[in-house]
Amino acid sequence: MAFYDSLFNAFGLREWCDASAGSAKMTMASLLAKTNPDAADEGPLLPFPSMDELYKACPSFPQSREFTAGVEEAFLNAKDVLKTVLDPLTQPLSWLLEGALFIFLAAPWWIVVPLILLFVWYVCRSVAVTTFVTVSFVFLAFIDHLDAALQTLAIIAVCTGICIILGVPIGIAMAKSNRLQRSLLPLLDLLQTLPTFVYLIPLIFLFSVTEPKLYGIAIIVYAIVPVIRLTDLGIRLVDQDVVEAANAFGMSSRQKLLGIELPLALPNIMAGVNQTIMMSLAMVVIASLVSAPGLGVLVLRGIRNLELGVGLIAGLGIVLLAVILDRVSKAAIARVSTDQTFK
């Protein structure tokens, strides 16, 4: 601290430092320094210039906690405006989630489960995958986890569908514009590396915990990145000779996109959809902290009440759902790739 004292003195800032010293807040470091003055100057000659270290030498310098408090205050000041704008825009998401949960639970299982199996057969046309999904649902029903699994599937279906509807056009726009790609890549990197729990912090302040859109937005924002990236990559990897041939035939941009670029990029897009489904499932478990229903609630119950069996069995159900979704989506990708090869 002596080094910083001399630094402030050298720049003629001592008067500024002492001007508000009387009104400065007492910190634990300051209290310890007063009770043990000999330890005040302990440390290296050139300590790291953190805000708290500078505050010790100059009480007028802001502390790190003042910085975090400023960020919180700025967000709270903008909260009402953000809520006014986002509430009507995100309300349809609550309706979609509530509707999907109602349909999956209100309809009898002997209607819902066969429809899911028919959908699995339609997208993958694989006897092995369809049989595996059937056995998995029978096992989930046997351990009385079918309703929770269907709730999780309903949330994933809605959120993944919205990710595809929003992500594919954004990926196409990125593939068509290098400037847009350069501007969006830092944001996508941020969304992909931000810890999952951090997504929930601002949303809790903006929306009620009882609103489904709270966890819906968190899942969508977290899971939309792969489908955007792989759509962009898939279109950029389309053979330019094919595009030039389409230009020679006088095809419009829309015709090239729908007739050539999207079909050739479809395997990459489907791979992005697969990753989006997996990330949605991972976020559904964490979203149970903010009232998301499904198997995540049972995992949370096992953690809170130290019920080992409940947590492990619910975790097994989540793993089973992950395997089902992964196998179905990969079988669909293989089928699409095979169709593209034969075409």
Which regions of the chain are under pLDDT 50? 22-24, 39-45
- Residue type at position 156: I
Q: What's the pLDDT at 313?
A: 93
- Residue type at position 75: F
Q: What's the pLDDT at 240?
A: 86
| Residue 187: burial class (beta carbons within 10 Å; 0-12, 13-18, 19+) | exposed
Q: What's the pLDDT at 52?
A: 72
Q: What's the pLDDT at 243?
A: 85
Measured CA angle at 194 (ends 189, 195), to 5 deg:
150
Q: Angle of helix 146-176 relative to helix 212-223, nearest 10 degrees?
A: 50
Domains, the chain, in order of start with CATH, read 2-62 (no CATH), 79-342 (1.10.3720.10)
